[in-house]
Amino acid sequence: MSSVWGAQGIEELREAATAVGLGAEPECSDSGVDLVLISPAGGRTLTRVKRISLASAETVGRQLARRDADSRDSPVSVLVADRVTEAARQLLREAGWSWLDLRGHLHLVSAELFVDVDVPRLKPASAPGLPLAGRVGQEVAAFLLLDPARPASVREIARMLDRAPSSVSQALTTMRSAALVDDQRRPTIPHLFWELAQRWTPDSTDLGSCPSPAVTGEARVVNDVLRLGLDDVGTTGWALTETMAAAAYGAAVTARSDHPPDFYVPDQAVMRRALHLLGPASSHETRAATIRVAPFALVCARRVNLPGQAWPLAEPLFVALDLARDPDRGREVLDGWTPPPGVGQRVW
């Protein structure tokens, strides 16, 4: 898959498949497969993704006319579009193609599974060619900024991030065109950081109470349900960020000892459980803690265990991205902050 739209379509299909309980793995070979979908029973469906803006009877007819002779067989052809008209859906059914309508419907048919269900409405992809337009581009940018001096191959980045190599390649190509990375795939500092900061808008909510870092008794049960990950900082779990994390890293921030902590949590499911078990805050001023959904797995998978801290910390990069959201005080703090040696690098 060579186009930016195609790479974006892979990630949109992955997100929709995950929402209905399917596993999704990128295909790292040159077999013509873009994504492998895995049913709850373990069945594997190989897919080849085509991304267009509008799937009408006319545009679908052209796509079907150009299809390979074996397109009814594995891999399954999946058309991803911002809108799939009813006439187009009928043509796709007759041709044995599957589709994802980003307005909120997924239709997948293979020997291993049948899915025809509404899914959460997905935001249409940004116009191709814009740097960091999609989630993959932002994740690749963060990966590069975490170790800015180390060049990495496309396949290595794809393997580390569990993304399709084609998606990673297109993200890097777009960044290179915008002079955000060099020809060795090293980030242009601080330009890549500030480009990522402009798009750093994680979902957040305030909690009425804060979980305990204790790991015994009833607290242990709650911690396991909330996936705090306190037993092993090397696993995915909650990560302390913003003011309290910045203070722990030595940044010049002012915070009371009872300042409500800010955490990244692994996903929306954990956020919902936290709201159910810990309750929402009645107001932002009375919050016991604030939680944010990690924009991608890297945030909660790479945590820092700092001596003297009860909670694992988010990497300094992600703390800095949170601070950068405040155009006044946050950027003033960043101007004077360099993370401790061996913990993180200053890329802002």
Write out pLDDT tens, residues 49-67.
998 888 888 888 888 876 6
Contact 168, 154 (CB under 8 A): yes
pLDDT of residue 72: 46
- In total, the chain counts a number of residues equal to 348
- The residue-averaged pLDDT of 264-279 equals 94
Report the distance separating Cα 272 and Cα 93, nearest Å: 36
pLDDT in tens, 14-53: 989 988 989 898 875 556 788 899 998 888 999 999 988 8
Could you tell me the sign of the dihedral formed by the alpha carbons of 191, 192, 198, 200, in that order? negative
Residues of the chain with pLDDT > 70, as a percent, come to: 91
Q: Which regions of the chain carry the CATH code 3.40.1350? A: 4-118
Mean pLDDT of 313-323: 97
Architecture of domain 4-118: 3-Layer(aba) Sandwich (3.40)
Per-residue tokens: 118: 């509404």
pLDDT tens readout for residues 98-113: 999 998 999 999 988 8
Residues facing 262 on adjacent strands = 241, 290
User: Could you tell me where in the chain the CATH 1.10.10 domains are found?
Assistant: 135-197
What's the mean pLDDT in 253-261? 86
Mean of pLDDT over the chain: 88
For residue 125, pLDDT beyond 60 = no
| CATH code linked to domain 135-197 | 1.10.10
Using one digit for the tens of pLDDT, what is the confidence trace for 227-252? 999 888 999 999 999 999 999 999 99
What was the pLDDT predicted at 262?
97
The pLDDT, as a whole number, for residue 31 is 67
Count CA atoms closer than 13 A to 276's CA, side-chain side.
Answer: 9
Q: Is the pLDDT of residue 279 over 90?
A: yes
Residue 287 is predicted with a pLDDT of 97
Return the pLDDT at 69: 42
Q: Is the pLDDT of residue 285 over 70?
A: yes
| Strands (DSSP E) found in the chain | 23-26, 35-38, 44-55, 76-84, 98-101, 105-109, 114-118, 204-207, 239-241, 262-265, 289-293, 303-304, 313-314
- Which uninterrupted H or E stretch holds 160? helix 154-161
